[in-house]
Structure 1
C-alpha cells in the first residue's frame, strides 16, 4: 500500500506568512472601511476628547464668590429662601411617607446642598461657634438684661412692625442686650436691617442657631436627633414654628432673661419682673387664668419650670395641632404644677402668673379695635380711658400678628398713641402694619 505523502503544516503556514509580506500595509479599520489612516486617527482623537469632557465636567449650581462674570449671567439666588426650603425639606420627609432608603439618599443630597448654600457670599465666614459668639456678646457688653427673639421667616418679611418691637424695647431698656436667633437675620443682609440700631450703639446681634448646642443636656437634644433621623412626624404645622416654640424655652433655660415675639410694643420697663409668664384669658366665673401664652416669658437661668416645659415638648410633641406645643403646652404644665402642689394663682413662690392686662391687654379677636381712629365723642373717651389703663397697668401690648398684619394704623388710634410713646426714630414717617 502506497504511503500517503507527509504534509508539513509548519512549512505551509510559513509560506503563507511570507506571501502576506508582499501585500500593501493598511490598518485594520481602513482595511474594513477603506478609510485613510489620518482620518481614523482624527476620529479617535475626537472621541477621546469628548470622553474626557464628559468625565471631568462639573456643573456648579452656585456662582463662585469672586466670579463676577458668572454672577452677571446667572439669576440672583436668595440663599435664605434656599435655607428655608432646605430646612422644610429636611423636616417634612416623613410626612410624605418616603421609604427609608429614599430618605437616606435625600439626606445626603440635602447635606451637600447645605454645604454649598453656607459657602455662598450671603453668609459671612466666621471661625467662631454659636457658643463663643454669644458668650462674647454678653460678656463684652456686660449684659445685665438679656432679651431673646427668634425669626423663622425671610429677611423681606422682617418689616416695620418687627423693627418697631426692637425700637420700643430699646426705648425703655437702652442698656439691654438683644439676641435674635435666626438663619435669615444671621446673615450680612440681616446686619443691614439692624444697622440703624447699631449706629446708635444699641447692643443687638443676630445669629444662626446651633440646635445641638442649645438643646444639649435637655430632653430637646434627643427629640431633635430623632427628628433629624426622620423618626418623628413633623406634622402639618410649620416645623419652623414648632422649633421656635422649643428654641425659646431652651435659650431661656441655658442663659436666662426675657423671650419676646416680634409683634409687641413695649410700653413700660420689664427689668423689674422675675420668673413670670402671662395669662392670655381669665375664666369669667372663677376669675382664675384659663390659658397662658408663651409669646413673652421672663425666667432665670435653669429655672425648673422651663425644664418641665422642655420635657413636655419632647414627650408630647404633636405637629398637627396648632398651639399644642406652644400656648397650650405652658398651660398644661403650669396647671399640673399648681394642682400637684395645691397652689393658687396668688400662691406662686417659684414663678408668677401675671393677669392678661400685663402682656395681652386685648384678645386676638378684638385687636382691631386698637388700630381704629375715634368715630365720635364716646369712642374718643373710650380710647383715652383704654390708653391710660395700658400706660398704668401694661408692660407690653401684643399685636397678634396673624390677625392684625394687614390692618392699617389710623390716626388718633390707641396704637398710634403708643407708637409716639415708644419710638426712637420718631421723626420718620412709617406704618407698622
Structure 2
C-alpha cells in the first residue's frame, strides 16, 4: 500500500472551534473572514433597534392600517441575534472542516463563497419581505440557517463524509449535545420571548372605537402614521369635526378644497391627517349618522373616534384625547384645525420644511390678558375658570405644536382642567411649562379675508361673498387669495386703512409679538396679595370710574399695564427737576445705557421742567420714553400720596420749597411713591448701566458703606453698611415704601437734613424689619454691584487713566451692573478722554442725534442728523460651562451671575446709528458648532436662520439682538474649544439699502471664580 503524503505540520494538532491552527500570518485574515458572517445580522440588529426607538406603539383607537410597532422591532432584534449566532456557528464549523481537508488557499475560497451566499440570501429575504415585516424577515433567515446547521451535523456524522486517511483522525464532537446547546436551546428561548411579547401586543391592540359607537367601523388610513418614510419634516394634522349632518358636509368640502393643497410626501416633508370625532352624542345620532360615517370612512379611511363626548361643551376633552392619540407617533409638528377652516397647506408645508424640526414650538393667532367671559348668553362663557385672566393662548382655528409640546401636555400623568373653550384650555395646559405662543396674524377665525392668510374661517352664511371652492379656484388660477371676496372688513392685527372697520372698534388691541388683547379691560382688578404682611393690596383700579389714564395705554393714576405682568421689570422711573439747560450729554447717555442693555425698557421721565417733546428723537427710533409732568396740583389730582402725612406734606409744598434740599427730598418722595404704586426700577440720572441684571424677577436695592463715624448709629451693621436708594427695583405693593414715606414726611420732617428722608430713612426701617422683608424677597446686593466706587473716590472714574480699560474690563465689569457717579460729587467734573466713564460712553452708544440744550449743537458721531450704521458686538466671547463660584459670601450669588450664553455687558450686541425705522430688516444668524436661540419668545434652537422684520424701528432690531442666546455642542461643553457666531443685518427699503456684519469667536471653557 502506498504511503500517503504527510500533511502540513499545522494539521498535526487537533482542531477546536477556538483554535485556527494556521500559520500566524494568516490569523487576522481568517478572523476577518469568519467575522464577515455576522455582517447581515449586525446590519439588521442596528436597523431594528433604530426603528424601535423611532416607531410608537400601535394605535389604541383603531384608526390606522396596522404596521410594525416598537414591540415588533424588538422581537425582530432577538431573531437577528439568533441568526448571527447560528451564522457564526455554521461558518466556524465549515471553516474548521475545510482547513482540515484542503489546502489553505482552497479553504479560504470556500469560506469567501459561504459568506457571499450568506449575504445574498439575507439581502434577498430582506428585499422580499420589505422594511415593515422585520419578524418574518429574520425568522426566515433563521430557518435557513437552522436547516444548514442541521444538514452540516447530519453530513458530519456520515462515514462517507468523514472518510480520511488511516493514520489521521479528525476530532469528533458529541452531535446530540451540539444540537441541544447550539440549536434547540437558543431557539426555545427566542420563541418563548416572542410568544410573551406577542401576548402583550395583542392586549394593546384591543380597539375601542367600535365599542364607543356600537357600530362595526373599519377605521384605517391611506397614510402610514407609524412611518413617514425618510422625510426630513413629519407633520400630523388633526381636524376637529362632528357627528352632525353639517359636520359630514364640511368634511366633504374640506377634502374637495383645502385638502387638495396638502402636498404629497417628499424627502423634505410628509403629511398625514385625521378628522377627529367624539362618541356618538346620542342613540339617535348613532342610528342616524353611524351608517353614513361608516361608509365615509370605508372610502377615505381618515376618521378617528376618540373616547370623549362629541358635544360642543366637551371640545377641550375631545382635543386632549386627540393629542393623547397623536403622542404615540413619530412626528415633528402637529397642526390642529377645524373642518370649516380653509388652510393654505401649500404655504404651511413650505414654511415648516424650511423651518425644520423645532423644540418648544407653538404658533398661532396669539391672545394674552384675556379675562373669562361671564355672560351666560354668550356660548363661549367660561364659568368654570375662576382666575381673572387666561394664560396666553392661540385661536383654535389653527395652531402648530412641536412634538415635545404635545408630549408636555399629555405625557405627564395627573389631573387635567377642562374648560369650555379648547383654545383657552391649551394655554392653561402649557402655562406651567412657560411655553409662549408665537403670534401669527395670518390665522383668522372671523369672516374676513386678507390675501396672505394661511387659515381662513368660513361661516355658514358666506358673509364675505364666496365659498371654499371659490378660494381654491383662485389659488389654482394664480389669482389673489381674496379675489371675488368682500375685503372691506379689517382682520385682527392687520392694517385697517381704507377698511370699513377697525379691530379697535371691537375693543381689541394688538402687539406684534404677543398678539391680541383687550383695548379696555372690563373693570379689571389689579392687586398684589399680601406676603407675610410685607406687601399690601393696592387700591382697585376701575378704568373710567376711579382711575384715569396719565399716559394712555401705559400708565393710570393707580396702576400701569406692566405692573402686574411678567414684564414689570421693564418699568424705569427717573426724575428731573432742574432747568432743561442742565440736561447735559452724560444725562442723554444715561438713558441710552438703559436701552443698550434692555431695549424693551419703558422709561417714565417724571419732571417739573422738561417739555413733552424733549425725547422725540428716541421715540422716533422706537424707544419707549414718556414725559410725565408733575407739580403740587398734579400730584394731588393724581392722588399720588401714600397716607395722611404724605398728603399733608404735598399740601404744604410751597412751604417746603424754600428748603435747601427740597428737590432732592422731592425725588426721594417720588421714588417711594412710584415703587409702591407701580413697581419697576427707580434710578438716579447719574446711574450708568453697564449690564442688565440677569434675573428679571430679582427685587433688589444696593448697599454702600458710610465713611463718617457719626453715621454708625443708623447703619445696618458695625461696618457702616447702609442702603442707597439711588438704584432699586421692586414689584408694586411693598408696605415698606409706604411706611418709610409716611414716617419721613410726617410732621417731624426736617427740610434741612439732607439724607434724613433718603438713605437714613430706608436703612433704619429695613434694620428693624430685615428678616421678614428678606423672607418676602427683599434683596440687598453688595456694594460692588451698583456702587463699585465710593462717592469719595468716584471722581477718578472721570479722569484720564492709562489703566482705565483694565479697570473697566477686569475689575468693574466682572462685579458690577451699574456705575453710580454720585452727581453731587461729579456734576461739575468733565468726562476726560481715556477715563473709565469715557470708555463706557464709547462702548455703549446708540448714536442717536440730539440737540445740546445749551449750545443747540447737534450731538452725534458726525455732528449731523445722519449717522453711520454700525453693528456692534464682541470680537471674542467666553462661554463658561460651569457655574462661577460664589465669592460674595451671600446666598443670592446665583441671581447676580450672568446667564451662560447671553451676550451682556461688554459682550452686548446692538446696532447704532443709521435709520430710525425701516420697512424691511433681514437678520441672518449662524453658528458653526453650537446652537442659537432667540430668547423665550421663539424658544427653539437653531444653527442657522434668517429673520425678517417688517416696519420696525431700531429698538425692535436691538430687542431681537439682545435676546440671542448661545448653547455649545455637547462635545464643546464637555471638552472646551472654539466656535464662531456670524451675524449679518440688512436694512432695505425704497429709500436706501445698508448692511453690516460681525463675527464673534466663541471660546468654550470651564472657569473658576465668580463673574457676573
Is this a same-fold pair by TM over 0.5? Answer: yes
**CA RMSD, 1 decimal:** 3.1
2:549 matches 1:132: yes
> Which range is displaced more, 239-248 or 383-392?
383-392
Secondary structure, in 3 states, of the residue corresponding to 1:333? helix
Measure how far apart 1:391 and its partner are: 1.3
Q: Point out the structure with the larger strand share.
A: 2
C-alpha contact 1:274 1:300 (8 A) present in aligned 2: no
1:211 paired residue number: 635
Secondary structure, in 3 states, of the residue corresponding to 1:156? helix
Q: Measured at CA, do residues 411 and 273 of structure 1 come closer, stay the same or move farther in structure 2, by a change above 3 Å?
A: farther
C-alpha contact 1:249 1:306 (8 A) present in aligned 2: yes
Among 571, 582, 585, the alignment partner of 1:157 is 582
Q: Cα deviation per residue 1:305-331 (whole Å; 9 max; x = unaligned)?
A: 212222222234211111111111111
C-alpha contact 1:292 1:330 (8 A) present in aligned 2: yes
1:236 paired residue number: 659
Q: Cα deviation per residue 1:272-298 (whole Å; 9 max; x = unaligned)?
A: 353211112179997856221111111
Q: How does 1:20-169 map to 2 (within 5 A)?
A: 131-134=548-551, 136-138=553-555, 144=568, 145-169=570-594
C-alpha contact 2:642 2:673 (8 A) present in aligned 1: no
C-alpha contact 1:276 1:297 (8 A) present in aligned 2: yes
Secondary structure, in 3 states, of the residue corresponding to 1:224? helix
2:757 paired residue number: 325
Aligned equivalents of 1:363, 1:387: Cα separation in 2: 18
2:687 paired residue number: 264
2:804 matches 1:335: no
C-alpha contact 2:577 2:607 (8 A) present in aligned 1: yes
C-alpha contact 1:149 1:261 (8 A) present in aligned 2: yes
2:700 paired residue number: 276
Among 405, 410, 413, the alignment partner of 2:835 is 413
Among 845, 859, 863, the alignment partner of 1:423 is 845
Aligned equivalents of 1:266, 1:228: Cα separation in 2: 33
Aligned equivalents of 1:429, 1:419: Cα separation in 2: 16
Among 704, 708, 733, the alignment partner of 1:302 is 733
C-alpha contact 1:256 1:299 (8 A) present in aligned 2: yes
Q: Which has the larger radius of gyration?
A: 2
Aligned equivalents of 2:680, 2:772: Cα separation in 1: 28
> Which range is displaced more, 356-365 or 313-322?
313-322
Q: How many residues align?
A: 286
2:605 paired residue number: 180
Secondary structure, in 3 states, of the residue corresponding to 1:150? strand
1:369 paired residue number: 796
C-alpha contact 2:702 2:724 (8 A) present in aligned 1: yes
Secondary structure, in 3 states, of the residue corresponding to 1:280? strand
Q: Cα deviation per residue 1:85-120 (whole Å; 9 max; x = unaligned)?
A: xxxxxxxxxxxxxxxxxxxxxxxxxxxxxxxxxxxx
Among 765, 779, 782, the alignment partner of 1:355 is 782
Measure how far apart 1:388 and its partner are: 2.2
Secondary structure, in 3 states, of the residue corresponding to 1:175? coil
C-alpha contact 1:219 1:314 (8 A) present in aligned 2: no
Secondary structure, in 3 states, of the residue corresponding to 2:660? coil
Q: How does 1:381-392 map to 2 (within 5 A)?
A: 384-392=806-814
Q: Measured at CA, do residues 319 and 369 of structure 1 come closer, stay the same or move farther in structure 2, by a change above 3 Å?
A: same
1:63 paired residue number: none
Secondary structure, in 3 states, of the residue corresponding to 2:682? strand
Measure how far apart 1:420 and its partner are: 2.2
Q: Structure 2 length as normaliser, TM-score?
A: 0.26
Aligned equivalents of 1:225, 1:371: Cα separation in 2: 37
1:3 paired residue number: none
Gaps of 5+ in 1: 1-128
Q: Point out the structure with the larger helix share.
A: 1
C-alpha contact 1:219 1:310 (8 A) present in aligned 2: no
2:733 matches 1:311: no
Aligned equivalents of 1:205, 1:237: Cα separation in 2: 29
Secondary structure, in 3 states, of the residue corresponding to 1:133? strand
C-alpha contact 1:165 1:264 (8 A) present in aligned 2: yes
Q: Measured at CA, do residues 214 and 156 of structure 1 come closer, stay the same or move farther in structure 2, by a change above 3 Å?
A: farther
2:717 matches 1:290: no
Q: Structure 1 length as normaliser, TM-score?
A: 0.59
Aligned equivalents of 1:348, 1:390: Cα separation in 2: 30
C-alpha contact 2:642 2:741 (8 A) present in aligned 1: no
Q: Measured at CA, do residues 228 and 403 of structure 1 come closer, stay the same or move farther in structure 2, by a change above 3 Å?
A: closer
Q: Cα deviation per residue 1:58-100 (whole Å; 9 max; x = unaligned)?
A: xxxxxxxxxxxxxxxxxxxxxxxxxxxxxxxxxxxxxxxxxxx
Q: Measured at CA, do residues 299 and 140 of structure 1 come closer, stay the same or move farther in structure 2, by a change above 3 Å?
A: closer
Secondary structure, in 3 states, of the residue corresponding to 2:675? helix
C-alpha contact 1:280 1:292 (8 A) present in aligned 2: yes
C-alpha contact 1:275 1:351 (8 A) present in aligned 2: yes
Q: Measured at CA, do residues 292 and 242 of structure 1 come closer, stay the same or move farther in structure 2, by a change above 3 Å?
A: same
Among 402, 407, 413, the alignment partner of 2:824 is 402
Q: Measured at CA, do residues 159 and 278 of structure 1 come closer, stay the same or move farther in structure 2, by a change above 3 Å?
A: same
C-alpha contact 1:312 1:333 (8 A) present in aligned 2: no
Secondary structure, in 3 states, of the residue corresponding to 1:321? coil
Measure how far apart 1:415 and its partner are: 1.1
Measure how far apart 1:413 and its partner are: 1.7
C-alpha contact 1:253 1:301 (8 A) present in aligned 2: yes
C-alpha contact 2:661 2:752 (8 A) present in aligned 1: no
C-alpha contact 1:278 1:293 (8 A) present in aligned 2: yes
Measure how far apart 1:203 and its partner are: 0.5
Return the structure number with greater relative CO, CA threshold 8 A, min gap 6.
Answer: 1
C-alpha contact 1:278 1:297 (8 A) present in aligned 2: yes
1:86 paired residue number: none
> Which range is displaced more, 328-337 or 257-266?
328-337
Aligned equivalents of 1:130, 1:264: Cα separation in 2: 32
Q: Measured at CA, do residues 419 and 229 of structure 1 come closer, stay the same or move farther in structure 2, by a change above 3 Å?
A: closer
Measure how far apart 1:217 and its partner are: 4.8
Q: Measured at CA, do residues 238 and 288 of structure 1 come closer, stay the same or move farther in structure 2, by a change above 3 Å?
A: closer
Q: Measured at CA, do residues 349 and 221 of structure 1 come closer, stay the same or move farther in structure 2, by a change above 3 Å?
A: closer
Gaps of 5+ in 2: 1-545, 849-859, 864-1012
